[in-house]
Amino acid sequence: MSFQHPLYLFSLLGVPVFLVLYFVYINWKKARIKKIGDPALVAQLIKEYSPQKFFFKFTLITLAFALAAIALANPRKPIGSSNMRRNGIDVMIALDVSKSMLAQDIKPSRLERAKQLISRLIDKMPNDRIGIVVFAGRAYLQMPLTSDHAAAKMYLSTASTDVVPTQGTVIGDALKMCYAGFNNKEKKYKSIVLISDGEDHDETADKLAQSLADEGVMINTIGIGSPDGATIQDPVTNETKKDAEGKTVVTRLNETGLKSIAVKTGGLYQLFTNTDEVAAAVEAQLRTMGQHSFTETALVNYQNYFPWLLGAALLLLLVEFFMSEKKNAGTAAAKEEKKKLVPTTLSILFCCLVLPAVSLAQEGKELVKKGNEAYNKGQYQAAAENYKKAVDKNPFDTTAQYNLGNALYKNNKGDDALQAYDAAIAGSRSKADKASAWYNKGVVLQNNKKMAECIEAYKNALKLNPADEDARLNLQKAIVKQKEEQQKEKKEQDKKQDKKKDQKKEEKPKPQPSKMTKKEAEEKLKALMQQEKNLQDKLRKVDANSPNKPEKDW
């Protein structure tokens, strides 16, 4: 049992306030009675008043308030959840995303073929739980263990050399991260599939592989690349990568290191040749480990108890309303009329107010349940339709809104999914539910290349749930991607500006038409000719008076 909106439970602090006010009021009444006059006379005047009934009416009001407060918090328990019993193993896939994986000795590149291989491997393991770790100079948990293979492929599609800013090939850190993703209580049914070119193989990987073997973990390694090596093409500049000395970088497959890791754990080493063949060989090796049974919970449906609590609160208020504080309220005929009126009134109010709410809640619950069943079968269109009907019946059903967003996203309706997540965020009072909706919204925005908005969504998710490592990792990726886009945009702007400058240099200044008249031009020409004549006369006089020039200038 849990509360959907636990903050409303603070309103229960009003109960002790009611108690204090009750005792203050009782003491005030006693003081007023003493001031009225003769106690015997006052007692005769108020002999029909019943303190016990007054206390009972107060108790009914207080209980109704407490039930309404609890109803606002909505106590609920998970029922009808999609708990699926599976027989399989836990597989963590460690994918090398260092720059060396951009080499094109395997077309289109080592990284792209590795992603194709993982996708094919996921298809061959429908009952296994899969997690993904990406590594280069550091290792990151891309996706924790899950049986949601559609989500695994989505995370796999975002893997690139940009997700890890630090370069290198720290296989040891990748193996540690994979082991952290397992259930440490079990010492079998666990395997790591390491896909790398093995370049810059760190020494700690061999020692760590031996430790993992002692813990019952099998490591299967896949070498991708060629021992002869290949150059690395920079995807941004389309130039061949060079080292600090200006020499062309050649990356080579290190089979020795990868074989050593596999042998120490009883695993299999495979040189990548063909996607189907390698995937089949790895899958066959994993099946030799045996399988264990586990329960996977998918979308959860809840039994909500707020309608019953509200109904009980209304009944208590109605009883209090019709109850008199007098010992003998009215004549016998009046009492008989009240006896007939009260049950009738209560029945009418119950049918008009409580039953419709309970009926709508029940219908919405059934629709959400049907949607969950369709979602787990991969029938996302049918799931979305059921969730939409549940939302139409109860727009405040945040569970239906959230599940609707998931189903719409699976149907490639990103914009509609965003609207559903926004509705779930606005209507939810639970921090955990809000954080999940913000996270899913960020994933949709990230896939739509809306980096600024998805960064904001991930930040909101982390504010509500700082322990969400997936949100933190995706936030880092989004920030890196945004910086790359900004740098690319800046380069394009600089190119445009340089092009404009070059065009300006090439443009020759056009001669401006003269604004002088013909007569003014003739007079100007005569004046210039006269100045030239005077200058020549002066030069001749100077030449006549000057001595002869020397023949050499030392």
Question: What is the residue-wise DSSP string for 427-453?
Answer: H---HHHHHHHHHHHHHHHHHTT-HHH
Q: For residues 216 and 177, give the distance between their C-alpha atoms in angstroms, rounded to a whole number.
A: 16
Q: For residues 215 and 133, give the distance between their C-alpha atoms in angstroms, rounded to a whole number.
A: 19
* The pairing of beta strand 190-196 with beta strand 217-223: parallel
Please report the DSSP string for 236-285 in residue order: TT--B-B-TTSPBPEE---HHHHHHHHHHTT--EEE-S-HHHHHHHHHHH
Q: For residues 476 and 165, give the distance between their C-alpha atoms in angstroms, rounded to a whole number.
A: 9
Phi and psi, residue 79, nearest 5°:
-140, 160
User: Which 3 state secondary structure label does DSSP give 34?
Assistant: helix
pTM of the model as a whole: 0.44
Q: What is the pLDDT of residues 513-536, one digit of tens each?
A: 555 666 777 777 777 777 777 766
Q: For residues 53 and 549, give the distance between their C-alpha atoms in angstroms, rounded to a whole number.
A: 140
Integer CA distances (angstroms), 421 to 403, 433, 439, 445, in order: 9, 10, 10, 12
Beta carbons within 8 Å of 41's beta carbon, 6+ residues apart: none
Q: Which of 199, 254, 250 is nearest to 229 (CA)?
A: 250
Give the count of alpha carbons within 13 A of 167, CB side only: 6
- Work out whether the CA dihedral 392, 394, 396, 402 comes out positive or negative: negative
Q: Walk along the chain (554 residues) in steps of 10 and give the mean pLDDT of each run.
A: 82 90 86 73 72 85 91 78 62 91 87 92 86 90 83 84 80 89 74 86 79 88 89 77 80 88 90 90 85 51 79 88 70 49 49 49 75 84 87 80 87 86 83 86 87 89 82 83 83 79 62 61 74 68 46 33
Which residues are paired to 75 by β-bridges? 3
